[in-house]
Amino acid sequence: MEERVMTPQQYPGTPGVAPPRGWVPPLDTFLRLIGVYDNSRGVWVGLPLQALTEALVAAEAKHALDRIDDRDAVQATITDGSEVGTVKTVSIEVPSGEVWFINRIVVTSPAESSTGTGDIVRVNVRISRWAYPDSRSGSSANENGRAYWSAAKGSASGGEYTINFAAQGELGEELRLVGGDKITLEATLTGAEAGADLTATLTPYGRKGKRLAD
């Protein structure tokens, strides 16, 4: 009589060790293992998790569940009479479970309250996912993440500053953010006491993708 070998379906698996011949990945309400069947050896071979994650991230960006635009803009105001060195921040936080792809950010800094006053507001953008000191030799990181620009922007006449993330000299790719990540506008008063309310703004542009990976 031919001897039959029963292979348990609930095979725990061991890294670097092929499963027994005839083993088939169990299916519940979802696929528990993604892989391919090796005909020559008669076993299922799982794909590396890293390869699957990269594929999922690429797929996320193909979905556009919503647009991110001026409706998501924020502003930070340094109030009249504020002292030099006053810092105001305001953040945009990605909601839990969402993934955002930001392709552009526009930041504005206000002009001085009146010609010659010298109350200049300088602005910067912080990315919470970049939990590093602002300088390469720094020892502590800002709670809102590293500043995007090495030096804050701003002048007596005010200004508008655009970051095109996918451009050369920037990131070369869109900025991917997941639930809990923040983009923070930081406005700092320099030069002289504020002679009026001085408001800086940050406007993000991009889309909300379909969250598939961490």
Residue 15 domain-assigned? yes
Tell whether 119 and 21 lie within a shared domain. no
Tally of domains in the chain: 2
Question: For residue range 99-147, what is the model confidence (pLDDT) as tens digits?
Answer: 899 999 999 999 999 999 999 999 999 999 999 999 999 889 999 999 9
**Predicted confidence (pLDDT) at residue 54 exceeds the cutoff of 70:** no
Model pTM score: 0.73
- pLDDT band per the 50, 70, 90 thresholds, residue 30: very low
Question: For residue range 139-178, what is the model confidence (pLDDT) as tens digits?
Answer: 899 999 999 999 999 999 999 999 999 999 999 999 999 9
DSSP string for 125-177? EEETT--S-SSTT-S---TT-EESSSS-B--TT-EEEEEETTSTTTTSSPEEE
Residue 52 domain-assigned? no
Q: Which domain holds residue 42?
A: 1-47
Q: Kindly give the residue spans of alpha helices, DSSP state H, lying in the chain.
A: 49-60
Tell whether 155 and 78 lie within a shared domain. yes
Tell whether 142 and 81 lie within a shared domain. yes
Tell whether 72 and 152 lie within a shared domain. yes
Tell whether 194 and 97 lie within a shared domain. yes
Tell whether 180 and 110 lie within a shared domain. yes
Residue 57 domain-assigned? no
